[in-house]
Structure 1
């Protein structure tokens, strides 16, 4: 097995709760009864006694992006863009024992679940905002994936080698693409799971992958989700119609689909042992990805 994470240092649930308690103590927030609502490349807690969400970066790849996440959140707030907001008057990010932690205002989901047209409206607005005064990183998806491959938990040597080879192949294919849309700020992970049905309408969340890059990439996740996941039928059609561009009809889509699926396979590599509940779904994804099975359906990591 290939692993670069020490058993004692892995982000187990006990370790996460210790970090949460320490961070909340520094921020003068109550951590008792906090609910873990997500644990993949980040661990996300909802506090029980305050309307706050706490995110703990779960890997090196996630940690290096945290300063950009904070920058993007503040930039979006300056433009009154409908997105989750950082908790005011809190140190952002907070460093606790080498881990980077951010605090966010909790957005209750009180409206019907947003659909493809809602996401399209958010993306159209995002794509027309003036660029931030502080430059964002350029879109380099293989860098992020290779960072995750540098610290896997319980990944076999053969699977590790296969995924590295896949990175090389896709990198060459991406370099040869001719994009149809003008580049600019992109969300980078624009699927419906990153849209919250807030009190005043849909809001965007999760800015870990926000960069300067091809707008086609922001249209790919819902398209790939319609092919790979058991998501509601028609969400991609609604997004394509509302945005005004169907990425599946663009000649470069097969490359973006393979890239998106590679990201969905590798996103949890640094926590495969720390969060054993995701292992069965990861193994299913890995098998079908290696076999180039284009029909197999995937389920969200739990």
Structure 2
């Protein structure tokens, strides 16, 4: 099994080069998380090292942060540095203000923020992309080696069935600005402060129901959210996605995405490989709901 150390060492070297360009002292850099972005804490500044070829997406995140804050919806702020975006070896490094001590949002706080987000008119100074729920899924299913042939064939067929059903669903009645990865951990609440939206890389335009699916599925399919907490979410938002005829399809697509995410990590993680097998059994109906899926 490959080790993450070389990736983290490479990201740290890139961070240090970017820090020198931006006028930041990187000697106290601490690794926070290594994932799709590698995150470091440098004093009161957060450095995000993106993957190669993602500079356009990093620039978009900076624009979204400025636009949301100007619109009255607090989002993670760009750090006050000379150059907030630096590119080293085709990898973008962005600098952000560190959020003070905080907690994850409650379901009701998340719902309130989503209602406000969905009511915003799209920005006029730049273009948000259309949300693409199937983007990259087929390639990920076909390219990984940690999948038995029969499992790969079933997952591809499941993907294609859902894709066809989604196409038949037709365009949404209205398109809203959506977060694209709306869960309680992506809305943080500083002690004594207002909720702050984080992880802006999937902000896009689509049907607002996408942002309601993760919480609803937590309640209906995973039993991770109590009836009282889910009702608080519904009351604060003003709608219950589980009564929408499209709920089951959208939830199935989201759960496919969560399964493919585990698949994408399975080459270097036995835990992720085990989760792929377990999640496939759930999707096939071999394990009844409520399901228990480990976080990755």
TM-score, normalization by structure 2: 0.83
Counterparts of 1:212 and 1:156 in 2: how far apart (Å)?
36
1:272–1:278 contact (8 Å) kept in structure 2: yes
Q: Does 1:122 align with 2:113?
A: yes
Counterparts of 1:272 and 1:93 in 2: how far apart (Å)?
31
Q: 1:157 to 1:58 in 2, by over 3 A?
A: farther
Partner of 2:17: 22
Bigger relative contact order, structure 1 or 2, given CA contacts below 8 A and separation 6+? Answer: 1
Secondary structure of residue in 2 paired with 1:175: helix
1:11–1:58 contact (8 Å) kept in structure 2: no
Partner of 2:197: 204
TM-score, normalization by structure 1: 0.81
Equivalent in 178, 186, 195 of residue 186 of structure 1? 178
Partner of 1:245: 239
1:22 deviates by 2.8
RMSD: 3.1
After superposition, residues 1-302 of structure 1 pair within 5 angstroms as 12-47=7-42, 50-58=43-51, 65-110=57-102, 113-133=104-124, 134-146=126-138, 148-149=140-141, 152=144, 154-155=146-147, 158-177=150-169, 182-199=174-191, 200-229=193-222, 231-233=224-226, 234-274=228-268, 278-291=272-285, 293=287, 294-301=289-296
Q: 1:74 to 1:9 in 2, by over 3 A?
A: same
Q: 1:13 to 1:280 in 2, by over 3 A?
A: farther
Secondary structure of residue in 2 paired with 1:143: coil
Counterparts of 1:9 and 1:192 in 2: how far apart (Å)?
27
Per mean C-alpha deviation after superposition, the further-off stretch among 204-213 and 146-155 is 146-155
Q: Deviations over 1:6-49 (max 9, x none)?
A: x89997333333333333333232334533333333322223xx
Counterparts of 1:276 and 1:91 in 2: how far apart (Å)?
40
Counterparts of 1:150 and 1:129 in 2: how far apart (Å)?
38
Secondary structure of residue in 2 paired with 1:102: strand
**Structure 1: runs of 5+ lacking an equivalent:** 1-6
**Structure 2: runs of 5+ lacking an equivalent:** none
1:69 deviates by 2.1
Counterparts of 2:66 and 2:74 in 1: how far apart (Å)?
12
Counterparts of 2:270 and 2:26 in 1: how far apart (Å)?
24
Per mean C-alpha deviation after superposition, the further-off stretch among 209-218 and 20-29 is 20-29
Per mean C-alpha deviation after superposition, the further-off stretch among 191-200 and 142-151 is 142-151
Secondary structure of residue in 1 paired with 2:211: helix
2:130–2:205 contact (8 Å) kept in structure 1: yes
Which of structures 1 and 2 has the bigger CA Rg?
A: 2
Count matched residues: 291
